[in-house]
Amino acid sequence: MHSAGFFISSYHKKTGTFGVSVCLNKHIIAVGSFKKGLKKEEKTALISIIQEHYKIEDDDFYYMEPGICVELQFSSFEQQKIINPIFKKFLYNQNWQDCKLENILETDGTTITHPDKPLFPDTSITKLDYILYLKEISPYFLPFLQNRLLTTIRFPHGLFGESFYQKQCPDYAPSYVETSMHEGIQYIVCNNLETLLWLGNQLAFEFHIPFETIYSDYMPSEIVFDLDPPSVEHFHMAIQAAKALQQILDRLQLLSFLKISGNKGIQVYLPLPEKTFTYEEVRLFTEFIANYMIVENPELFTIERLKKNRKNRLYIDYIQHSEGKTIIAPYSIRGNKGGFVACPLEWNELTDDLHPSHFSMNVVLQRLHKGINPFAHYFEVKEKQPFRQVLEVLSNPHNSKGSID
């Protein structure tokens, strides 16, 4: 159980529950209500004070000015609401303005520093907003970070200052931060909420992960096609490429997932069973698919590594899918001016009006609250993926390299 300070903001007459709030910057935020834990005489006295000093009354509620502070225990904080709150004691000497939202997050082991710090130009997003996003997104985000060597991009001053890549875990990291040594670098492995929030407080924006876990014996856990148009103004090319790739994968009866990169491209995932295929085997497939797409649309797609030779064509990056290379993790925000999210999508969302700017942190959370979770069955698919059959066909020397039939 966690505990923090709150101030009473309302009383519901019919249910006998006390609404509580906290301060977020200069705003008052309602975060739930409690009923349990009060002794009979405490409840009677509290109701009497509310009835005497309420600000507004309607048929259901008494509404209070901030002033009465209480300490509550609660099991968790989800969707900006405290879960299973229980009254612990009155905080007679505490100022209601000291009941802050960031104090709730500190119960997860992280002290939030400079919560009001702005992060992106032309937005109202603060550091606390970002950490709240990480808190809410964690059940969906953490499974993709599990047991992966983590590379982040740190933005100590948000988009208002310089950034830098971080691979090495700093000496000042808390004890709950797990690490793994690889090629002389002590990488962070983000396996728990405390580490995720600590990284958020360090203003790590982009979470880049390899295609394998630390236990996979250097075998890929998934295939990812990175569809990279020349610029965000050419994003329509990524849409076109993803549609073409979907048709190919469907014909091969392969199970695929779609993610907008949060920057200028689109990424298509094929989950694989663990410790089953080598990168060399997977390269046979990815190279074949990339070349097939170019044969079908040579004026649109290329595998040319040098940008100057791409001639405004979309780059199908299959070379990047190899040991030690990384990809932006699903649900990570990007270090661009909008703080857009690398958001999973349903295939039917791949429409011509799709754009990276549609997927802010708030929009992504709203989607999940509505039950829109395109990667919900991602890990279940790993053992069902019929990749072996496809690989056997491609490995057959009698197979025509110009056909996928």
255 contacts 385 by C-beta, under 8 angstroms: yes
Mean pLDDT of 222-241: 94
Q: Round the CA-based radius of gyration of the chain to a whole number and report it.
A: 25
Write out pLDDT tens, residues 173-208.
Answer: 999 999 999 999 999 999 999 999 999 999 999 999
Residues whose CB is less than 8 angstroms from the CB of residue 382 and which lie 6 or more positions away in sequence, other chains included:
221, 222, 271, 272, 273, 274
Q: What is the pLDDT of residue 53?
A: 92
Average the pLDDT over each of 205-209, 238-242, 253-257, 309-313 and give the range with the smallest value.
309-313
pLDDT at 403: 59
Which CATH number is 2-105 given? 2.40.50.140
Using a cut of 0.95, tell me whether the model's pTM lies above it.
no
Integer Cα distance of 320 and 322 in angstroms? 6
CATH architecture of 217-400: 2-Layer Sandwich (3.30)
Report the percentage of the chain scoring pLDDT > 90.
81
Instruction: Report residue 402's pLDDT band, with 50, 70 and 90 as the boundaries.
Output: very low
C-beta separation of 314 from 237 below 8 A: yes
pLDDT, residue 147, reads: 97
Q: At what angle do helices 127-145 and 193-201 cross, to 10 degrees?
A: 140
- For residue 404, pLDDT beyond 70: no
pLDDT in tens, 100-127: 988 887 766 778 888 889 999 988 899 9
Highest mean pLDDT: which of 118-122, 164-168, 215-219? 164-168
Instruction: For residues 230-243, give the mean pLDDT.
Output: 94
**Res 63 pLDDT > 50:** yes
* Mean pLDDT across the chain: 92
Q: CA nearest 35: which of 64, 5, 74, 92?
A: 74
Ordered by start, the domain boundaries in the chain are 2-105, 111-210, 217-400
pLDDT of 380 reads 95
SS (H, E, C) the chain: CEEEEEEEEEEECCCCEEEEEEEECCEEEEEEEECCCCCHHHHHHHHHHHHHHCCEECCCEEECCCCCEEEEEECEEECCEEECCEEEEECCCCCHHHCEHHHHHHHHCCCCCCCCCECCCCCCCEHHHHHHHHHHHHHHHHHHHCCCCEEEEECEEEECCCCEEECECCCCCCCCCEEEEECCEEEEECCCHHHHHHHHHCCEEEEEEECCCCCCCCCCCEEEEEEECCCHHHHHHHHHHHHHHHHHHHHCCCCCEEEECCCCCEEEEEECCCCCCCHHHHHHHHHHHHHHHHHHCCCCEECCCCHHHCCCCEEEECCCCCCCCEEECCCCECCCCCCCECCEECHHHCCCCCCHHHCCHHHHHHHHHCCCCCCCCHHHHCCCCCHHHHHHHHHCCCCCCCCCC
Q: What is the pLDDT of residue 107?
A: 67
The pLDDT of residue 2 is: 85
Position 148 confidence tier, pLDDT thresholds 50, 70, 90 = very high
What value does the mean pLDDT take over residues 271-296? 94
Segment 34-46, tens digit of pLDDT: 999 999 999 999 9
| 108: nearest Cα among 29, 227, 195, 5 | 195
Say what the pLDDT of residue 24 is: 82
Q: What is the mean pLDDT of residues 69-83?
A: 89
Chain centroid to CA 200 = 11
Give residue 399's pLDDT. Answer: 56
Residue 401 has pLDDT above 60, yes or no: no
Residue 236 pLDDT greater than 50, yes or no: yes
